[in-house]
Amino acid sequence: MKRTPLFIYLALFINFSFSQNNSSEIKIKSITETETYTNTSSDGKKYVFTSEINQTTYNREGEKISNIRNTYFNGKPYKTLITDYQYDDNGRIKLENNFVVEDSLKYFTNYDYRNNQLAKKSFRFIENEKENEFFEAYTYNKNHKLISSLYFYSKKDIDSDFYQTNLKVKSLYDKNEKCVEMDWTKSDSSYKYNKYKYKWNRKNLITKEKEYDKNGSFIKTTSYKYSFDQHNNWIVKKLYVKKELVKTFYREIEYYE
């Protein structure tokens, strides 16, 4: 079996595109989000490539029904991840059914709740003679507000008792439970991830991202600019570094009548 890239599984946990900002009271039926990035060739020409198309459908209660995530490599289709959702009697997601089409790989994401709050998401599967384990645990303050989360990805040989942690991400949240910092620097050095800090506006949208290395040295600032539809939901999101466009997200939103 061909190895499925890590970012496919990360998408299930750290969905950091902030796509679910549905500010209107009009019920959304589906959102199709296309992510593109801009590359500059050696001759100075700029080229735009699609990196992901992500379609989510909702019922009239606003619950997610299904998600289809198509990823691309060098502008060509690469992997398709299909997810559907099961809910408990309180209307909370209790299970995700996931299927990577190209690898015929099925696995389930479990949601665990304590004191009526999400405590942990987790799943594991075996691929290429290795057992992979993912989980994200959540911490709340005495007022039941989310203050931090910790994400782990570990793997081990199937005949071993010991997991090796490859990825460790700690996120911090403000009083409105918005993520203001993500620290990837405790991960395996092969991932070379850094620390990110985020600024939000009153519409609950990211406006600025600052990136730092593991020593705390500043690397760059990414600015976010948005365009909105008549229901005040964003339909275009552009990311700039030093006033240069590096990435664009487009959303097609279908509403219930």
pLDDT value at residue 20: 40
Does the residue 1 lie in any domain? no
pLDDT value at residue 41: 81
pLDDT value at residue 1: 41
Do the beta carbons of residue 8 and residue 127 sit within 8 Å? Answer: no
Report the C-alpha gap between 35 and 25 in whole angstroms. 26
Q: Is 25 left (phi over 0), alpha (psi -120 to 50) or beta?
A: alpha
pLDDT value at residue 9: 52
Report the C-alpha gap between 62 and 156 in whole angstroms. 39
- One-letter-per-residue 3-state SS of 79-124: EEEEEEEEECCCCCEEEEEEEECCCCEEEEEEEEEECCEEEEEEEE
Do the beta carbons of residue 81 and residue 69 sit within 8 Å? Answer: yes
Hey, what are 123's tokens? 């799943």
Does the residue 140 lie in any domain? yes
Number of C-beta neighbours around residue 52 at 10 A: 19
- Tell me the one-letter amino acid at 162: F
Report the C-alpha gap between 80 and 71 in whole angstroms. 6
Provide the 8-state DSSP code for 8. Answer: H
Report the C-alpha gap between 151 and 109 in whole angstroms. 14
Does the residue 19 lie in any domain? yes
Report the C-alpha gap between 83 and 98 in whole angstroms. 5
Does the residue 231 lie in any domain? yes
Q: Is 61 left (phi over 0), alpha (psi -120 to 50) or beta?
A: alpha
- The CATH code of the domain that includes 122 is 2.40.160
- Tell me the one-letter amino acid at 236: V
Does the residue 239 lie in any domain? yes
* Count of structural domains, the chain: 1
Does the residue 28 lie in any domain? yes
Does the residue 245 lie in any domain? yes
Question: Which strand (E) or helix (H) includes residue 10?
Answer: helix 6-13
- All residue ranges of the chain with pLDDT < 50 are 1-5, 12, 15-21
Q: Residue 96: give the domain boundaries.
A: 6-255
Exposed / middle / buried, residue 90 (Cβ in 10 Å: 0-12, 13-18, 19+): exposed
Provide the 8-state DSSP code for 142. Answer: T
Report the C-alpha gap between 220 and 194 in whole angstroms. 11
Report the C-alpha gap between 188 and 186 in whole angstroms. 7
Does the residue 116 lie in any domain? yes
What are the tens digits of pLDDT across the range 220-254?
Answer: 999 999 999 999 999 999 999 999 999 999 999 99
